[in-house]
């Protein structure tokens, strides 16, 4: 008999930490020890989280791949399923399938400068990359973290950005469109931050996450600054129901975002990227 990739495993809630009123980080572990021991993922991959009677949603994994038994998901409560996930308490059980999809090219980027450029609330898919690099700092070149938010109040993980900014050979640049007086970072879009940051464009890799309009503008800036398309990686979002390339919803041109992505090298998706209707 074939294994059944549609069948969720049981996950137990170890922690449900509120980040903002509508963003929370859900820490799960697989209930079945044998499954927990076999579980491993790469930064950039995602799980399907399931609430009984409600449904399933794809959520990227933010924890470190070396922490075998904890799986963290930072989630914004925007839909039917995520609103119920937000209410989970320690010890509650939920369904989990995964990990699925492609991952950031961690092995290929050793010794290179890494630019992490994110927009909106969702830098969750790259947090695992930042933590991964921070933990293995000597393996990588300069780390540049650029994040843009609509309103300065939207920024989550403020302390963490401060901590990252204090690290050696690391630069953090944040921008908000609308700001409060307490905001001591830049104002404007994430693309306005390029004048503030330094990196060796010939020896860099950029990793992008955010709305496609923001990624598209960022790609233009990167190319103007001498980076090649092949140095650019990004993560995409589409409707995903099966996560295994069967249900068809996530198709983007010839790619199935769930299994060929969500992390893509830009040239692979360039032709259809940010085109209306794709």
- Residue 181 interacts with other proteins (CB under 8 A): yes or no: no
Q: Which of 79, 188, 226, 267 binds other proteins (CB under 8 A)?
A: 79
Q: How far is the CB of 40 from other proteins (least distance, A)?
A: 17
- Show the tokens assigned to 94: 């939920």
Which segment (14-22, 49-57, 174-182, 199-207) binds other proteins by CB under 8 A?
Answer: 49-57
Residue among 27, 30, 56, 227 that touches other proteins (CB under 8 A): 56
Residues in contact with other proteins, shown as a per-residue x/- string from 203 to 242 under the rule CB under 8 A: ----------------------------------xxx-xx
Nearest-CA neighbor of 42 among 72, 63, 15, 70?
Answer: 63
Residue 92 binds other proteins (CB under 8 A): yes
What is the C-alpha end-to-end distance of the chain, expressed in Å? 37
Q: Which is nearer to other proteins, 9 or 206 (CB)?
A: 9
Measured CA to CA, the distance from residue 210 to residue 90 in angstroms comes to: 30
For the bound state, the minimum distance from the C-beta of residue 239 to other proteins, rounded and expressed in Å, comes to: 5
Strands 186-187 and 170-178, sheet pairing: parallel
The smaller minimum CB distance to other proteins, of residues 165 and 247, is found at: 247
Alpha-carbon span 148 to 177, nearest angstrom? 8
Q: Which residue in 82, 118, 128, 235 binds other proteins (CB under 8 A)?
A: 82
Long-range contacts, 236-245 (Cβ 8 Å, 24+): 236/212, 236/261, 236/262, 236/264, 236/269, 237/262, 240/48, 240/58, 241/56, 242/6, 243/46, 243/48, 243/58, 243/97, 243/98, 243/100, 243/101, 244/5, 244/6, 244/100
The answer to whether residue 151 forms part of the interface with other proteins (CB under 8 A) is no
Binding site for other proteins (CB under 8 A): 1-10, 50, 52-56, 76, 78-79, 82, 91-95, 237-239, 241-242, 244-249, 251, 253-254, 256, 259, 271, 275-278
């Amino acid at each position: 008999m074939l294994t059944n990739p549609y069948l969720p495993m049981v996950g137990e809630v170890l922690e449900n930490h509120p980040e903002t009123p509508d963003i929370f980080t859900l820490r799960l572990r697989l209930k079945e020890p044998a499954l927990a021991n076999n579980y491993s993922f790469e930064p950039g991959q995602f799980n399907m989280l399931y609430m009984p009677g409600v449904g399933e949603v794809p959520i990227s994994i933010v924890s470190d791949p070396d922490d075998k038994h904890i799986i963290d998901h930072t989630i914004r409560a925007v839909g039917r399923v995520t609103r119920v996930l937000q209410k989970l308490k320690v010890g509650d059980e939920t369904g989990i399938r995964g990990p699925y999809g492609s991952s950031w090219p961690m092995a290929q980027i050793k010794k290179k400068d890494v630019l992490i450029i994110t927009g909106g609330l969702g830098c969750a898919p790259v947090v695992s990359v930042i933590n991964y690099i921070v933990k293995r700092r000597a393996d990588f070149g300069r780390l540049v973290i650029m994040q843009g938010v609509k309103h300065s109040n939207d920024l989550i993980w403020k302390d963490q950005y401060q901590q990252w900014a204090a690290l050696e050979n690391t630069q953090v640049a944040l921008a908000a469109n609308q700001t409060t007086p307490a905001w001591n970072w830049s104002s404007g879009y994430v693309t306005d931050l390029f004048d503030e940051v330094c990196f060796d464009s010939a020896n860099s890799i950029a990793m992008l996450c955010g709305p496609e309009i923001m990624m598209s503008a960022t790609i233009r800036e990167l190319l103007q600054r001498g980076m090649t398309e092949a140095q650019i990686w990004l993560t995409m979002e589409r409707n995903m129901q099966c996560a295994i390339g069967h249900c068809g919803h996530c198709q983007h041109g010839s790619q199935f975002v769930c299994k060929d992505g969500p992390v893509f090298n830009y040239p692979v998706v360039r032709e259809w990227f940010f085109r209306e209707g794709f």
